[in-house]
Amino acid sequence: MHRFMLVVALAAAALALPACNTGEFRSNGDIAVLTDFMAGSFSSAKQAEKDPENFRDIRLEMARIWPDRADGVWLYVEQAVATSLDRPYRQRVYRLTANADGTLRSDVYTLPEPALRFAGAWREPARLADLTPQQLDLKDGCAITLTWHPCSSLFTGTTTGTGCESTLQGAAYATSEASINAYGMITWDRGFDRAGNQVWGSTAGGYVFVKQGVDR
């Protein structure tokens, strides 16, 4: 089965596994698995080819930074349209930590401006060695809580409520959903106005990012 279909099939399978014991893995073990799943290069080219009206060819890069820190796993994240890889439209830092209930938390931080000076740092994470968490801005309310589904080797998660502020295109708040496995991830980011109407983001479902360099 093609990796693109594996990502879609495994994400869908998680919805049919309510009886799966999600507590079988230790939180620390879950973080190691999640880090392994998230670090790497991803592409939505296959999805864009199949449905060009609703999806663009986006490249997603994630690289671990600050590996010696003991306050979680830190990842530098970059997204760019395939035709403008040198000018990413989104640059973030994620911090992965364990919650007391066994779920995992991915906090989202923005970089100090001008953020474009860090473009391409996923190739050379050492470029961020002099940056510190204190220089980042936490996006309050935008954390994703992730649950591990051992029966399908899949993480799924969402933001909570309407606390993730967004002003893009007249939005009041944003939501994020994610399904992550060894072959890639599906992410669905959307913005809503105060009346709950969607004003930005895909209306046809999440973006399917296939992890590059993974054996089928």
pLDDT mean for each 10 residues of the chain (216 residues): 53 47 56 97 98 98 97 98 97 97 97 97 95 98 96 94 97 98 97 98 97 81
Q: Which whole-number Å values give the CA distances from 12 to 1, 82, 90, 185, 205, in the listed order?
A: 15, 27, 27, 12, 12
Which residues pair with residue 59 across a beta bridge?
43, 80
The answer to whether residue 199 is domain-embedded is no
The pLDDT assigned to 27 comes to 53
The pLDDT assigned to 12 comes to 53
Amino acid at 78: E
Domain encompassing residue 77 = 3-159+178-185
The answer to whether residue 87 is domain-embedded is yes
The answer to whether residue 166 is domain-embedded is no
Contact 181, 7 (CB under 8 A): yes
The answer to whether residue 168 is domain-embedded is no
Q: Residue 127 sits in a domain of what CATH number? A: 2.40.128.590
The pLDDT assigned to 151 comes to 87
Cα–Cα distance, 182 to 125 (Å, whole number): 22
Number of domains in the chain: 1
The pLDDT assigned to 216 comes to 58
| Single pTM value for the model | 0.89
Q: Which whole-number Å values give the CA distances from 129 to 67, 97, 117, 120, 152, in the listed order?
A: 10, 20, 14, 14, 36
Cα–Cα distance, 89 to 122 (Å, whole number): 15
The pLDDT assigned to 14 comes to 41
